[in-house]
Structure 1
Amino acid sequence: MDAAFGMEYLHSKNIVHFDLKCDNLLVNLKDPSRPICKVADFGLSKIKGNTLVSGGVRGTLPWMVPELLNGSSSKVSEKVDVFSFGIVLWEILTREEPYANMHYGAIIGGIVNKTLRPTIPSYCDSEWKLLMEQCWAPNPVMRPSFTEIASRLRVMSAVAQPRKAAAS
């Protein structure tokens, strides 16, 4: 949720990160009961101009969006970060790196053809699964905003809290 709130803030300031992945999320464990996650590494970030960003190929391959890889547009929206966040949700769920055993050419081809997405484990919560799939939708217009993502994560967290208490 912290990362979603951070991205919502960045997008409100017209900043697109372009390299959102777990490696660029820092967690402060000073208070173990309430870790705080911060978005880091703004080396590829860009300020939006008139709602679109001149993209070019930038980012880290498994987290890259089809629209950057296939060259269909030199202008992309902040929805590139939403796509990457969907992959981050998968990373958090599985504790694995996406497409770790695949060659780069196969990854590029699969993403460009809009057929390659990480396999979702059967134990995944249905709301989490739906959110991931919507984040990595091939059409950027179909991807939710970070405001919507943060709101949905807040609801999922509230539902999960009573389950945790009951399990203890």
Structure 2
Amino acid sequence: MIVMKYAKQGSLRILLNSKYSELDWASKVANLYYIASGLNTIHKAKLVHKNFHSGNIVNKNKYISYITDYGLCKPVSQDSSSKALFGVLPYIAPEVLYAHGKEYTKKSDIYSFGIIMSEVFTRYPPYHDIPHDKDLATHICLGYRP
């Protein structure tokens, strides 16, 4: 069991939906700093998150964010012989989609962070205006980005 501080603002997705107009550039950058710092801590521990998206980031306030949901977090060196694909499609790196889940790496977490950055600066979830289906997976693999 992991015990964390109470996240008064809920998930990053909820914060962006409900208080985007209150978020200035400083608070957006501060949030991203805390998210990047948390991801760096995960990677320094030689782990990969594998399910990194705005719903798995919670906010203490409009400046401070924490990464949650470590259920899929695995050591970088752990062989991923499973062909299972995990995560929320718009945040999954193209190389993971190509390999049907076998290539979760630190780089794929960083790709997800880039998608989160786009979401923080635009307010909108990635690919919010198109269905999250096999066609989206193909588009992501072909280089389409939000």
Q: TM-score when scaled to structure 1?
A: 0.60
Give the Cα–Cα distance (whole angstroms) in 2 for the partners of residues 97 and 22 of structure 1.
Answer: 8
Q: Which residue of 2 aligns with 1:46?
A: 74
Cα displacement (A) at 1:53: 5.3
| Amino acid of the structure 1 residue aligned with 2:118 | W
1:81 aligns with 2:81: no
Kindly indicate whether residue 43 of structure 2 is the aligned counterpart of residue 11 of structure 1: yes
Secondary structure, aligned partner of 1:5: helix
Q: Structure 1: which 5+ runs fail to align?
A: 119-168
Q: Tell me, what secondary structure is at the counterpart of 1:83?
A: helix
Query: 1:13 Cα deviation (Å)?
Result: 0.2
Distance 1:85 1:21 in 2: 8
Q: Offset of 1:14 from its aligned partner? A: 0.9
Correspondences of 1:2-151 after superposition (within 5 Å): 2-29=34-61, 35-49=63-77, 54=80, 56=83, 57-71=85-99, 74-103=102-131, 104-113=133-142, 115-118=143-146
Structure number with larger C-alpha Rg: 1
Q: Is the 8 A contact 1:46 1:53 kept in 2?
A: no
SS at match of 1:38: strand
Instruction: Please list the CA deviations of residues 110-149 of structure 1 after superposition, one character each: whole Å capped at 9, or x if unmatched.
Output: 1122x2101xxxxxxxxxxxxxxxxxxxxxxxxxxxxxxx
CA RMSD in angstroms comes to 2.0
Moved over 6 A (4+): none
1:26 counterpart SS class: strand
Change (3 A) 1:106 1:116: same
CA distance, structure 2, for counterparts of residue 90 and residue 79 of structure 1: 17
1:14-43 alpha-carbon deviations (Å, 9 max, x no partner): 1111111111111102xx7xx321101112
Number of aligned residues: 111
Alpha-carbon deviation of 1:72? 7.3
Tell me the TM-score normalised to structure 2 length. 0.69
What percentage of residue pairs aligned between the two structures are identical? 29
Point out where structure 2 has 5 or more consecutive residues left out of the alignment.
1-32
